[in-house]
Amino acid sequence: MKNYIVIVTALLMIFLQNSPLFSQGRLDLNTVWHDSSPPNFEQGRAFTHLVNARLALRNMDYETALVHADNAVAQNQGIAESYMVRAEIRHRMGMVAEAAEDITIAQRLNPLATDIYGVNGSGGIINTIYFQPKEFIIQANPEESLEYYKRKYLLLKKDQGESHPEFIALVNKLLISDVEEWVDMIPRLNSLIIQYPQWPELYDLKGWIFTELGLWEEALDALSKSVSVEPRQPFSWYNLARYHLNDENQEMALKHLNAAISIDEELSILYFTRAALLKKMGDNKAAIKDYDKIIAIDEWHIPESYVNRGLAHKATGNYVDALNDINMAIELFPDLPFLYKNRGNLYLVMGMPQEALIDYSEAINIDDSFAEAYFNRAIVKIILLNNASACGDLNTAKSLGFDFEEEFESYFCIR
């Protein structure tokens, strides 16, 4: 039992350091309930006591805060939020064992509480909100890739004084075709390979098509042939890296990305892919250097670069530079809703829920179909004890196709 108390007490200390629920000077209780009617429990005396407990806590009037928290629990013993507030008050009064007991009860009432209210630190919050910026793990889209092959071919053949219009025709055909149709063009590509067996671009293009189709073993054969004919094929090395990423061979993927970058130091897609891999491998400092390079060479992906670099800074614990990067992206591109969503995420893990609420709301103002922003705003409203409005956001997120665990509604919306 003693060890159990020690463990829960340690979690409570993390809670006090990281919880957005009790960030000093951040919570404005007068502004968070204005936009909807509260759920049933909030309409009773329990909610009144809970609000008064929070206000007294902010004023460091712990005796009064504890009286109100006790009354909130007495009025409704099934609300995890009341126990979380009382745990904070009790701990500040030196009642560590009692505070740990409240945390245990809250978690039993609502298993999501320890993540949402910060007991498990910023990692718990990250696991709760829609955080992973999957749209920033940039890959060369088909149009960009085919234009790359086209430009590369034209430059190469101009230097060699050769012309192969059938190759350009094939690339143009790929540009106007759906991905599912590309497999039908492999025979045409094979006929060109028979004619020109020492032309590495043909194997390169064939391997890229197989990569896009998810035919990984066929891609490996073609790409391996490409680099054996001509080792200085950056896109072949890039696609070989994608093969190994699919195979979860991180070391080999990194080796091939390094090879590609050594050949073409101005191809930003290589740095995006390597930076994402480096972050996955835990080397955020190296990833930051890659994002520095992208910002220097690629004007088309500046907002993604700033946000990604900001997230890498956050992973190293450098919240100042993380926030500066996202602020810079917003300054340059103030009409992009995902920037506000990601700054809101950063504010939330920094224990600044009011600022997060403002940013999520701004993302929604720009794009009222932004389902992830509704979901994340719901989490902030839950943290701020505005469950009724949070449930409205959860319903909107669901109606827009965002998939989340049913426990959110059952624990926070059904009282």
Region 380-399 average pLDDT: 86
Name the residue among 388, 383, 334 with its Cα closest to residue 362: 334
DSSP for residue 247: T
CATH 1.25.40.10 for domain 136-412, yes or no, is yes
Percent of the chain residues past pLDDT 90, beyond the cut: 25
Q: Fold identical between 2-128 and 136-412?
A: yes
Listed by start position, the domains of the chain span: 2-128, 136-412
| pLDDT reported for residue 163 | 57
Confidence of residue 10 (pLDDT cuts 50, 70, 90): very low
Residues in CB range of 302: below 8 A, 6 or more apart: 295, 329, 332, 333
Would you tell me which CATH number, out of the four given (3.30.70.1450, 3.10.310.10, 1.10.3720.10, 1.25.40.10), belongs to the domain 2-128?
Answer: 1.25.40.10
In whole numbers, what is the pLDDT of the chain averaged over residues?
Answer: 78
Q: Could you tell me if 89 and 69 are in contact, meaning their C-beta atoms sit under 8 angstroms apart? A: yes
CA angle (392, 401, 334) in 5-degree steps: 75
| pLDDT reported for residue 277 | 92
Residue 42 confidence (pLDDT) above 60: no
Name the residue among 176, 8, 37, 222 with its Cα closest to residue 98: 8
| pLDDT reported for residue 15 | 43
Q: How many CB atoms lie within 10 A of CB 151?
A: 10
* Distance between CA atoms of residues 2 and 4, nearest Å: 5
Region 174-199 average pLDDT: 82
Residues in CB range of 48: below 8 A, 6 or more apart: none
| pLDDT reported for residue 314 | 84
Q: What is the pTM assigned to this prediction?
A: 0.66
Region for 414 from its dihedrals, namely left if φ exceeds 0, alpha if ψ lies in -120 to 50, beta otherwise: beta
Residue 28 confidence (pLDDT) above 50: no
Name the residue among 3, 2, 15 with its Cα closest to residue 102: 15
Confidence of residue 23 (pLDDT cuts 50, 70, 90): very low
| pLDDT reported for residue 109 | 77
